[in-house]
C-alpha cells in the first residue's frame, strides 16, 4: 500500500515539474522573465528534437491553434483566448485581446485576488495596487465608472468592473481547457518536426507534400490546423 502511495506521489510530482517547466518556457518565450534553465531556449529559439535528428525550422511568426475564444463584452470588443502557441517548444497560452498574455500561474493568482479586488472597487479605488507575479492590478475611475487596470511590464489593459468579473467567471473553463490542451503539446511538437522536415525537402508546394505524406491525418484537427495556419502560408 505504501509503495502504491509513493508511486502516486511520484507521478504527481513529475507532472507538476513538467507543467512548471512548460510555464517557464512559455514565459521566457514571451520575454516576461528569464526561466531558470539555459538562456536562449525561448519559443523562437532554434532547437533540435530527437525524432529525426534534423533541426527544426527557426524563427516563425507566432500562430495559435486549437483555440477557444470567450467574449467579455456584448460586442466582443474585449475577449479572452486560450490556445496552443506553436513552437517548438509549443505551449498553452492565455491571451486577453491581442497583446496581453498570462501564464496559468498568474491567471490563478489573479482569480484568487477577486474578493480583494471587489472590496477595493466597493470602497476606494485610490488604494494601493495589488501585485500578482509579473502582473500589477490598479484601480481608477472615468466618468464615474470604476475601472480595473491590468499592467504588465510593457502593456496595460483597462476594463470595467463588469467586464473584469465576466472574465473571472471563466476560471473553471480556462482550467479545464488548459489541462486538455496541455496533454497534446508534445504531439504538436512532434507533428511540427515531421511537417518541417517534409517542407524543407519539398521542391515545389510544401503543403501538398505534407498532405500527401504518411504523417498527415485528414481526420485529425491538429494536422488540419497546422497545415492551414503554419505550413499553408509562407513561413
For the chain, the structural domain boundaries read 64-230
pLDDT score, position 192: 96
Between CA 191 and CA 151, with CA 100 as vertex, the angle to 5 degrees is: 145
pLDDT score, position 53: 35
For 205-220, how does the pLDDT look when each residue is reduced to its tens digit (9 = 90+)? Answer: 899 999 999 999 999 9
| Cα–Cα dist 124/93, whole Å | 33
Average pLDDT over residues 152-168: 95
Residues 6+ apart with CB under 8 A from 69: 79, 80, 81
| Cα–Cα dist 61/49, whole Å | 20
pLDDT score, position 61: 56
The DSSP output letter for 218 is: T
- pTM for this structure? 0.72
Amino acid at each position: 500500500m505504501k509503495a502504491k502511495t509513493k508511486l502516486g506521489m511520484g507521478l504527481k510530482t513529475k507532472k507538476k515539474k513538467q507543467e512548471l517547466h512548460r510555464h517557464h518556457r512559455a514565459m521566457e518565450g514571451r520575454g516576461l522573465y528569464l526561466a531558470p534553465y539555459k538562456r536562449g531556449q525561448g519559443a523562437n529559439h532554434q532547437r533540435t528534437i530527437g525524432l529525426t535528428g534534423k533541426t527544426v525550422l527557426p524563427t516563425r511568426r507566432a500562430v495559435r491553434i486549437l483555440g477557444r475564444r470567450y467574449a467579455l463584452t456584448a460586442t466582443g470588443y474585449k475577449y479572452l483566448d486560450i490556445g496552443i502557441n506553436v513552437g517548438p517548444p509549443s505551449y498553452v497560452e492565455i491571451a486577453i485581446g491581442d497583446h496581453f498574455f498570462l501564464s496559468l500561474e498568474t491567471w490563478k493568482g489573479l482569480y484568487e485576488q477577486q474578493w480583494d479586488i471587489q472590496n477595493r472597487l466597493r470602497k476606494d479605488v485610490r488604494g494601493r495596487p495589488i501585485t500578482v507575479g509579473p502582473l500589477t492590478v490598479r484601480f481608477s475611475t472615468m466618468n464615474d465608472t470604476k475601472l480595473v487596470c491590468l499592467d504588465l511590464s510593457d502593456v496595460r489593459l483597462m476594463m470595467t468592473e463588469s467586464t473584469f468579473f465576466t472574465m473571472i467567471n471563466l476560471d473553471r473553463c480556462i482550467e479545464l481547457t488548459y489541462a486538455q490542451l496541455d496533454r497534446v503539446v508534445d504531439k504538436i511538437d512532434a507533428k511540427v518536426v515531421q511537417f518541417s522536415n517534409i517542407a524543407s525537402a519539398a521542391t515545389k508546394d510544401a503543403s501538398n507534400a505534407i498532405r500527401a505524406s504518411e504523417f498527415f491525418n485528414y481526420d485529425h484537427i491538429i494536422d488540419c490546423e497546422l497545415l492551414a495556419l503554419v505550413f499553408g502560408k509562407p513561413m
